[in-house]
Structure 1
Amino acid sequence: MTTTETTPATVAAQPATANRTLLYAITGGSALTVISAFLAWTYTTAFPGNLTLYGYPAPLQMLTLVGALLTGLYALSALGTKGLGWLAPNGHSATLRFLAAGAAATTVFTVGSIAVELGGLVHLEPGAWVAALASLVPAAAAFKLADDKRKAAPAGTLPSWAEILIIVGVYALGLYVITFGIDTDDKEPQLFIAYLITVGLAATGLMKSGLPDRFAAITGRHRQVALIATAAAFIGFPFIQQSGDTYTLIAVNILIFATVALGLNVVVGLAGLLDLGYVAFLGVGAYTAALVSGSTASAFGVHLPFWAAVIVGAIASLVFGVVIGAPTLRLRGDYLAIVTLGFGEIFRIAMGNLDGTSGPKITNGPNGIPNIPHLELFGWNFGEAHNVFGITLGAYANYYLLMLLVMALVILVFARAGNSRIGRAWVAIREDETAAEAMGINGFRVKLIAFALGATLAGLAGTVQAHVNTTVVPENYVFAGPVPPNSAFLLAAVILGGMGTIRGPILGSALLFLIPAKLQFLQDYQLLGFGIALILLMRLRPEGLIADKRAKLEYHDDTADQAPTDLATAKAGA
């Protein structure tokens, strides 16, 4: 009887051989999935999106195609294909799991939606079966891969022109991806759900690969180019809209929501003050602008120019912030949260009672202040369409560009304040107020400044919101409701995106506004889904989607777990 001797080299080679077999399976399954996207998945156009064509992928099939292409590309990179090694500085296994899962989930969801909506599996063409089965092969194989997580080697530098081209290309791609999501038809929720699945899992996988860190290093070497590319991407959004102002209004509201969330981020993210009535400051700015901007329903009959209305609205919110903050900021924790929640409700009720019956006639009570005229700056009427470079920009495109300026101002204020001495004092108060005061920081004064600054930024956004909506009613400023912005969604946007950061609340606001706007059929279950999402986030990524370095260290510090292992190893060696 012959026995095969097992050497250390043989043992080491076995996982590598198994991995290569799995990678070949991932590559083959991804290639077959790509081919299936060019086949018909159903024979009838009754299903939204027209998946009946051969050789011309519909948008839903394009998502499957993109997911499969990325999966196959990373599988080839893991196999050592020349020229693709740079795709995964931190290793391939985790990235492949997320990419393959995203492609499979998108495909299975689409195929399942066809069967459910049309009433059975008989409505599926062979292309749908091929797509579903082929996409499951890479997903199953990817989760069998051995973990190859590693520390990324130092990256080499490219010529400046090449790095600039990379920055431009990435920002152009990002603009296309965002535009694709916003432009999805509200009557086709399947497309938007598939878009969320694909983008969410693909983005997570790419983050695991370490590629975004390499891109961050490139943008760090070319900050001015990155800023210009960012501005160009945002400014270019309304110019590439094919449907006029239909979806530009969503973008405007996202910017308003994000601007207010950045103001709340000063209060919650930097100073650590739990404010549950923050939306009231947005309402103060909106109501003030409505009363002084020439509305026919205004009790004052005043028509100030926009720049003056902005100043008046911001100052009014500042005053309210100081008046509310002065007596309440001596409280901490849950007590402060309860008081601010009460202020938010008092504001909404007070605006509803100033109708001439229950109180002075100032706000027209529940009817609000309608007929707020559109802005006009330097002869440019924001309520009219304008032709720019041969492209027609509608009314909401005008407000979109205006909100970009407002957001840029708010970002500048937030960044300068956060990096200043007062910003460091806010962080000290957030981490430990007692210790901060023991070191000489005037806790009450520092917190009041944060409260007042946050209120001012919210009031600034409120002045623009009043003109965008052309009416202001108390129901827009509640603690929780089906339509953001409200206090609960604003707080969630800050926590979801990442407290204390700039990009975090912007991303959180975009997600929390865009998802309810696109998935109207989930209105009755919106808060349920919202709560489940927050629970999962707190469990899997408590620092938020985009976290600062301090939060990462606080929530993912492994030194405590590593210390006993290191000690045991030292004793064994001795």
Structure 2
Amino acid sequence: MTTQTTAPETPSTPAGTAPRGLVGIPENIGRALATGGGVLAVISTFLAWTWTAEFPGNLTVYGYPGGLQVLVLVGGALTALFGLASYGVKGLRWLTPAGADSALKLAALGTFATAWYTVVAISVKLGGLVNLEPGGWIVAVVTLAGVLGALALPFEHPAPEPHDPDDAGWEQFRHTLRTKATVIKAAFTTGSLSPARALPSYAEILVVVAALAVGLTVFTYGIGTEYDELFIGFLITAGFGFAAVAKAGLVQRISAITAKHRTITMTGAFVAAAAFPFTQSDDQYATIGVYILIFATVALGLNIVVGLAGLLDLGYVAFLGVGAYTAAMVSGSPSSPFDIHLPFWLSALLGAAVAMVFGVIIGAPTLRLRGDYLAIVTLGFGEIFRIAVLNMDGTSGPDITNGSNGISSIPNLNILGFDFGQEHTFAGFTIARFANYFLLMLLITLVVVIVFRRSSDSRIGRAWVAIREDETAALAMGINGFRVKLIAFALGACLAGLAGTVQAHVTYTVTPEQYQFAHVVPPNSAFLLAAVVLGGMGTILGPLVGAALLYLIPAKLQFLGDYQLFAFGLALVLLMRFRPEGLIPNKRRKLEFHEEAEAPTVLSKAGV
């Protein structure tokens, strides 16, 4: 008996009709509206949006965008860029390997949201729409037209091939492969998926440099926002902009290039981060920068435990406290019970070693547990540490930590005659105390990144991943699960203790309440775990980005008062809903959460 198999066909629109999206506008008109709206939004930023300078940012100047106008300009330029790419403009297709339509929708929506937020903010702050100048009305109209045009673009996906629901096994597997092949064929036919062109090595290096420059610019702009309205606008623009670039496939393409040139990328990232203090006119934002680095370094250490080994540790911040208290006790502080003043390199090694010892002591009896049981035990350890240092005040226990008063008056570091508490001038640039500690913490972050990278690529790193994926199968393959997990626990504790030695000198004082599970100000165990999960488990850049966002956003949302945690929690819920794998996930976790969407891309690489 011969069975005739017909090739699957991609869905098509009825004859004589144009494909339509969410609104009843033909696709060609919608595309023109979206692209034109982006161009006109850029032009409108050179007009005055209000007549008075009472609204922050001085939006009264013609010919010079300021404040929120700059963000609308960026969003409009991105919208116009994706709009031109959707027309197949030569030279822009490289920027949209996964297609430009979805990216165009997100970019237009972000520009609309930022522009209308600005218009509403002007009206509320100044007392009505009468305070708008022609530029404000123009940007409201053109961004509305742009987003309506973008929503007119069709949402078309290849339909799966009909099959017998009773089929199973090999027939079901063949059906899946045919369906995915149809998706790939349709994507290449419509231009929504374009094969990556091989660039010369020098061009790829220039791409890496450009990506790092953009990252430094965005971070510097976000951390230096001077007023609340500007920071909210920055969040809107950055969020939609990143989503648009990711939807276009550009993030994945740049990630592949940076992975190819990992050494150059790490060196460039270090240089870009080191340039941050020199972009600031004072020490105000370097303060936030050094705390972000401390937070990020500890999160990267936790990523070894959670991201690679799959061990849920809810008391990790205690190891940061162990390192901080150890360094504070041997720093020469007058409130320290020990009359010792060790050089920093020795106190840093001592803090890391003591934290590692605590990691082994805590991990040895508890790492035979799994899942929720391990989480409960580590949570208990975090609370035991805080209560123990609180009681070591000479009354409830031995006089070691001064109880609730902590160890204060920790002196500034002095390494080879370089006083970190004083201002220093380099090549005409003056950097103050927090900038000095920022550069020191950057060196420690580099060490932690190298340790993480070397560990994850080693045999022990592969054993961690095997334990995380399926501990029973890993044990059956001969992996010593207890030893492997204990190494991860000890190494993560060591890195946290190393960061704690710097934190003690930056904050001048270490107290027990700094190391609670859910302290108001990060780092704490809850925020550290959130940074790893939201940034991207098992990656280097993910926890760094996640920690930066989780520290920066609460610091900038203080004007919301009692609603701060509500807004922050809502943002986390939305992020987990639409990007559960994290902002910068590894390929494995991305496939776990988006198996159907990612499989065609993986198959296309094999076929190209």
Q: TM-score, normalised by structure 2?
A: 0.87
**Conserved in 2, the CA contact under 8 Å of 1:15 and 1:146?**
yes
What per-residue deviation string (whole Å, max 9, x for no partner) do you get for residues 208-245 of structure 1?
Answer: 11223333344345444333322221111111112x21
Q: Tell me, what secondary structure is at the counterpart of 2:575?
A: helix
Q: Compute the displacement of 1:437 (Å).
A: 2.0
Rounded Cα–Cα distance in structure 2 between residues aligned with 1:224 and 1:419: 14
Say yes or no: does 1:126 pair with 2:167.
no
How many angstroms does 1:371 deviate by?
0.8
Of 79, 86, 93, the residue aligned with 2:94 is: 86
Q: Larger deviation: 93-102 or 114-123?
A: 114-123
State the one-letter code of the partner of 1:136: L
| 1:145-165 CA distance string (max 9 Å, x none) | 024783533333344444433
In 1, are the aligned partners of 2:277 and 2:435 still within 8 Å (CA)?
yes
Q: Is 1:73 matched up with 2:59?
A: no
The corresponding residue for 1:405 is 443
SS in 1 for 2:425: strand
Q: Which amino acid is 1:65 matched to?
A: L
Change in CA separation of 1:134 and 1:338 when aligned onto 2, cut-off 3 Å: same
1:69 Cα deviation after fit: 1.2
Contact 1:108 1:132 (8 Å CA) reproduced: yes
Q: Which deviations, in whole Å up to 9, do the C-alpha atoms of 1:321-373 show, x marking residues without a partner?
A: 11111222222221211111111112112212211222222111111111111
**Pairing 1:5-44 to 2, within 5 Å after superposition:** 11=15, 14-15=18-19, 18-44=26-52
Give the counterpart letter for 1:104 in structure 2: F
Give the Cα–Cα distance (whole angstroms) in 1 for the partners of residues 511 and 13 of structure 2.
74
Instruction: Output the CA distance in 2 between the equivalents of 1:226 and 1:278.
Output: 29
Which residue number corresponds to residue 169 of structure 2? none
Which of the numbers 149, 153, 170 marks the counterpart of 1:145?
A: 153
d(CA) in 1 for partners of 2:548, 2:86: 34
One of 186, 205, 215 as aligned partner of 1:164: 205
Cα distance between partner residues in 2 of 1:560 and 1:410: 31
Q: Does structure 1 conserve the Cα–Cα contact (< 8 Å) formed by 2:542 and 2:585? A: yes
Instruction: Map 1:381-460 to 2 at 5 A.
Output: 381-460=419-498
Distance 1:9 1:471, change over 3 A: closer
Tell me, what secondary structure is at the counterpart of 2:283? coil
State the distance in 1 between where 2:547 and 2:197 align. 36
Q: Percent identity of the aligned residues?
A: 61
The aligned runs of 1:152-231 (5 Å cut-off) are: 152-185=193-226, 188-231=227-270
Pick which of 18-27 and 105-114 moved more.
Answer: 18-27
Q: Secondary structure at the match of 2:341?
A: coil
Query: Whole-Å Cα distance in 1 between the matches of residues 597 and 86 of structure 2?
Result: 30
Q: Quick check: 1:277–1:479 contact (8 Å CA) kept in 2?
A: yes
- Matched ranges for 1:457-472 at <5 A: 457-472=495-510
- Seen in structure 2, the aligned counterparts of structure 1 residues 383 and 436 have a Cα distance that, compared at 3 Å, is same
Please give the per-residue CA displacement for 1:268-307, whole angstroms capped at 9, x wherever unaligned. Answer: 1111111111111100100110000111111111100001
Larger CA deviation: 506-515 vs 418-427: 418-427
Question: The residue matched to 1:40 in structure 2 has which SS?
Answer: coil
For the 8 Å contact 1:93–1:147, the answer to whether it is kept is: no
- Measure how far apart 1:12 and its partner are: 7.6
Where 1:429 maps in the other structure, the secondary structure is helix
Q: Is the 8 A contact 2:104 2:150 kept in 1?
A: yes
Q: How does 1:510-549 map to 2 (within 5 A)?
A: 510-549=548-587
Q: Please name the residue that 1:329 is paired with.
A: 367
Higher mean Cα deviation, 65-74 or 211-220?
Answer: 211-220
Shift of 1:70: 1.2
Check conservation: 1:252, 1:399, Cα contact below 8 A. yes
Deviations 1:187-209 (A, max 9, x none): x1110111111011111101111
CA contact (8 A) 1:91 1:148 kept: no
State the secondary structure of the residue aligned to 2:49: coil
Cα distance in 2 for partners of 1:250, 1:34 equals: 32
Q: Which residue of 2 aligns with 1:480?
A: 518
Quote the residue 1:4 is aligned against: none
**Is 1:104 the counterpart of 2:106 in the alignment?**
no
Within 5 A, what are the aligned runs for 1:244-283? 244-283=282-321
> Can you give the 5+ residue segments of structure 2 that lack an aligned partner in the other structure?
1-11, 158-186, 601-608
Secondary structure of the residue that 1:247 maps to in structure 2? Answer: helix
Q: 1:213 to 1:561 in 2, by over 3 A?
A: closer
- The answer to which of 112-121 and 274-283 deviates more is 112-121
Please identify, of 363-372 and 12-21, the stretch whose mean Cα deviation from structure 2 is larger. 12-21
TM, length-normalised to structure 1: 0.92
1:554 pairs with one of 574, 592, 600: 592
How far apart are residue 400 of structure 1 and its match?
A: 1.0
Preserved CA contact (<8 Å) 2:94 2:196: no
Instruction: Assess, with a 3 A threshold, how the Cα gap between structure 1 residues 331 and 80 changes in structure 2: closer, same or farther.
Output: closer
CA distance in 1, matches of 2:468, 2:205: 39
Distance 1:159 1:446, change over 3 A: closer
Which of the numbers 227, 235, 239 marks the counterpart of 2:278?
Answer: 239
Q: Is the 8 A contact 2:283 2:433 kept in 1?
A: yes
Deviation at 1:550, TM superposition (A): 1.2
Q: Secondary structure at the match of 1:14?
A: coil
Query: What is the rounded CA distance, in whole Å, between the counterparts of 1:415 and 1:375 in structure 2?
Result: 29
Residue in structure 2 matched with residue 114 of structure 1 by the alignment: 122
The answer to whether the 8 A contact 1:92-1:148 is kept is no
Q: 1:42 to 1:391 in 2, by over 3 A?
A: same
Write the letter of the residue equivalent to 1:395. Answer: R
Shift of 1:402: 0.9
Listed one character per residue, the Cα deviations across residues 454-476 of structure 1 (whole Å, up to 9, x for unaligned) are: 11110000000001111111111
Other-structure match for 2:175: none
Deviates more, 1:144-153 or 1:70-79: 144-153
Offset at 1:532?
Answer: 2.5
The question of whether the paired residues in 2 share the 8 Å contact of 1:482 and 1:523 is answered with no
Q: CA deviation at 1:125?
A: 2.4
Structure 2 residue aligned with 1:343, among 359, 381, 387? 381
Number of residue pairs matched by the alignment: 552
